[in-house]
């Protein structure tokens, strides 16, 4: 950016300061029109804060590629400024170094499996730190040249990656704002990482918690994980969950009429989203189907399972293990409009998550997308911790069935009964008789969540 452009931004900023009473800067690496779930949270907050009368600026990553979610462009058309910042040249140079390091570190056949796993973690961690530092340095340079001191009423910095939190803290420290909300989509710590990395990230996380005015998390479980060991933090930390937005009626109708609409004479299951190997476990679901088929309670020719996501190898392997390849319709990765079409055409939506002592409140963005479709959900929860947060939400809003693996046999029997009831309804009536609590579901609309964020800003 040249000096004239920088001067123009500063002059416009002075005029805006006289016009708007509420000015917020959202700092986020992921933002529309980038594809996938990560950009949704910050994009929707920006959209609805703008509708509430805020002046909304966004500082985000510039991916410099053509991949985009066209639908999300509508969400950002009214925003005041979207500053897209690329990585520094150092990062591209480091990527080449990283590839060489990866060959050196992971290529030795004499290393033990644990050593190789730890080496990969260290490599990935050092690269993620460097990547965050690279982008945050580019942002800081842009801020120094273009932003006014004491300009923003509040900065909302949404992680991950770590870079967003670094930039948010810089803006507060250097006087561009006196209010900072640090938003954690996930804890910075990971229970699977080597102890050195875990301890480092724990210290970094502690620093952000201490220096921010407010902390927000996507779930109660994430709140509990990051607040462990801190005193008097309850007044500072709040749950600000992910949510959903209604689809335009013409888009919804288009999805329903899509040529990939599923067979209406079958009970159609669908799983849309990632499968995390070693964590997301679908074995209970496939066991339930297999036992119902063997017991002749359901007809294998009258059920189908559609998968759309990046875990094709995993889902195909599971289907083969249970001899259910014939019911599987693997779409692999699809664009969002196709994913929504599959969901809207299906009878039952399946998801998998996990709940452990160190990783609680793992509620994927796809769950909220499922919720908005008002279809029955089967949620499989692996891990060593009972009473998962997602299960409580499912039962509170009557969204379907949650099956914790910690009580495997009990929940397997419940799952079989649930599937049999819905199967009989579909075979006898041509449809499923299901209703959820729509009045409670509305609380997770992004418009309502933006109101909650606005209240948090006012409290600082």
Question: Per-residue confidence at 90, pLDDT binned at 50, 70, 90?
Answer: low
**Eight-class DSSP state of 449:** H
Nearest CA among 328, 350, 348, 345 for reference residue 260: 345
Nearest CA among 368, 418, 421 for reference residue 44: 368
Q: Please answer whether residues 163 and 131 qualify as being in contact, where contact means their C-beta atoms are separated by less than 8 angstroms.
A: yes
Question: pLDDT tens digits, residue range 142-151?
Answer: 999 999 999 9
DSSP string, 299-322: -GGGEEEEEESS-HHHHHHHHHHT
**Which stretch of 3-17, 140-154, 245-259 has the lowest confidence by average pLDDT?**
3-17
**Residue 109 pLDDT:** 44
Alpha-carbon gap, residue 386 to 356, rounded angstroms: 8
285: buried, middle or exposed (CB in 10 Å: 19+, 13-18, 0-12)?
buried
Tokens in use for 404?
């914790």
Res 170 pLDDT > 80: yes
Alpha-carbon gap, residue 439 to 195, rounded angstroms: 44
SS3 call for 268: strand
Alpha-carbon gap, residue 93 to 458, rounded angstroms: 43
Question: Per-residue confidence at 450, pLDDT binned at 50, 70, 90?
Answer: very high
- As beta bridge partners, residue 157 has 27, 182
Show Cβ contacts of residue 298 under 8 Å, excluding neighbours closer than 6 positions: 267, 289, 292, 419, 420, 423
**Residue 113 pLDDT:** 43
**Residue 9 pLDDT:** 58
pLDDT greater at residue 165 or residue 105: 165
**Residue 97 pLDDT:** 53
Average pLDDT over residues 239-251: 81
Alpha-carbon separation of residue 411 from 23, 152, 281, 381 (angstroms): 49, 51, 14, 10
Percent of the chain scored above 90 by pLDDT? 62
Average pLDDT over residues 111-129: 64
Nearest CA among 268, 198, 283 for reference residue 423: 268
Res 276 pLDDT > 70: yes
**Residue 107 pLDDT:** 40
Q: Please answer whether residues 168 and 40 qualify as being in contact, where contact means their C-beta atoms are separated by less than 8 angstroms.
A: no
Alpha-carbon separation of residue 42 from 180, 308, 460 (angstroms): 15, 24, 20
Alpha-carbon gap, residue 63 to 79, rounded angstroms: 19
Show Cβ contacts of residue 306 under 8 Å, excluding neighbours closer than 6 positions: 262, 268, 269, 270, 271, 329, 330, 331, 342, 346
Average pLDDT over residues 342-367: 91
Q: Please answer whether residues 230 and 212 qualify as being in contact, where contact means their C-beta atoms are separated by less than 8 angstroms.
A: no
303: buried, middle or exposed (CB in 10 Å: 19+, 13-18, 0-12)?
buried
Other CB atoms closer than 10 Å to residue 173's CB: what's the count? 11
Res 245 pLDDT > 60: yes
Question: pLDDT tens digits, residue range 409-448?
Answer: 999 999 999 999 999 999 999 999 999 999 999 999 999 9
3-state helix, strand, coil in the chain (%, to 5): 50, 15, 35
What global pTM score does this model have? 0.85
Alpha-carbon gap, residue 453 to 59, rounded angstroms: 18
Hey, CA dihedral for 137, 155, 28, 229, is it positive or negative? positive
Alpha-carbon gap, residue 372 to 349, rounded angstroms: 12
pLDDT greater at residue 117 or residue 210: 210
**Residue 89 pLDDT:** 67
Other CB atoms closer than 10 Å to residue 100's CB: what's the count? 9
Average pLDDT over residues 222-228: 88
Chain centre to alpha carbon of residue 299: 36
Percent of the chain scored above 70 by pLDDT? 84
State the average pLDDT for the chain.
86
**Domains assigned to the chain:** 3-244+446-459 (3.40.50.2000), 249-440 (3.40.50.2000)
Question: Per-residue confidence at 104, pLDDT binned at 50, 70, 90?
Answer: very low
Alpha-carbon gap, residue 306 to 329, rounded angstroms: 5
Average pLDDT over residues 105-114: 44
């Amino acid at each position: 950016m040249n000096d004239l452009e920088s001067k123009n931004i500063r002059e416009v900023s002075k005029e805006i300061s006289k016009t708007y009473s509420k000015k917020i800067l959202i700092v986020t690496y992921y933002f529309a029109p980038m594809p996938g779930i990560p950009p949704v949270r910050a994009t929707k907050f920006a959209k609805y804060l703008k509708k509430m009368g805020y002046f909304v600026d966004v500082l985000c990553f510039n991916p410099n590629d053509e991949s985009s979610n066209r639908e999300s462009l509508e969400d950002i058309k009214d925003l005041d400024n979207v500053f897209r910042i690329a990585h520094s040249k150092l990062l591209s140079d480091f990527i080449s170094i990283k590839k060489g390091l990866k060959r050196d570190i992971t290529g030795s056949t004499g290393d033990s499996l644990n050593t190789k796993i730890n080496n990969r973690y260290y490599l990935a961690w050092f690269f993620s730190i460097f990547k965050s530092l690279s982008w945050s340095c580019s942002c800081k340079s842009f801020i120094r040249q273009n932003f006014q001191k004491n300009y923003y009423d509040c900065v909302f910095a949404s992680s991950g990656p770590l870079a967003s939190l670094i930039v948010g803290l810089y803006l507060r420290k250097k006087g561009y704002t006196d209010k900072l909300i640090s938003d954690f989509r996930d804890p910075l710590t990971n229970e699977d990482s080597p102890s050195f990395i875990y301890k480092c990230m724990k210290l970094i996380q502690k620093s952000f918690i201490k220096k921010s005015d407010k902390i927000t998390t996507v779930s109660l479980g994430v709140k509990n994980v990051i607040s462990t060991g801190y005193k008097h933090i309850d007044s500072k930390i709040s749950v600000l969950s992910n949510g959903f937005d209604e689809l335009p009626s013409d888009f919804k109708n288009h999805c329903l009429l899509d040529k990939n609409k599923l067979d209406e004479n079958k009970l159609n299951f669908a799983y849309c989203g990632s499968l995390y190997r070693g964590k997301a476990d679908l074995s209970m679901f496939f066991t339930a189907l297999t036992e119902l088929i063997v017991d002749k309670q359901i007809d294998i020719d009258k059920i189908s399972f559609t998968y759309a996501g990046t875990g094709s190898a995993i889902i195909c392997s599971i289907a083969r293990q249970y001899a259910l390849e014939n019911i599987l319709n693997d779409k692999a990765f699809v664009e969002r409009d196709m994913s929504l079409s599959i969901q809207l055409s299906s009878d039952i939506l399946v998801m998998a998550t996990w709940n452990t002592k160190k990783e609680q409140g793992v509620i994927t963005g796809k769950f909220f997308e499922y919720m908005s479709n008002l279809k029955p959900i089967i949620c499989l929860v692996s891990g060593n911790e009972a009473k998962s947060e997602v299960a409580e939400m499912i039962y509170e809003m009557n969204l379907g069935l949650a099956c914790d693996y910690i009580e495997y046999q009990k929940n397997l029997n419940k799952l079989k009964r649930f599937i049999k009831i819905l199967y009989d309804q579909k075979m006898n009536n041509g449809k499923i008789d299901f209703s959820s609590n729509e009045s409670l579901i509305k609380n997770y609309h992004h418009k309502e969540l933006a109101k909650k964020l606005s209240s948090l800003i006012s409290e600082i």
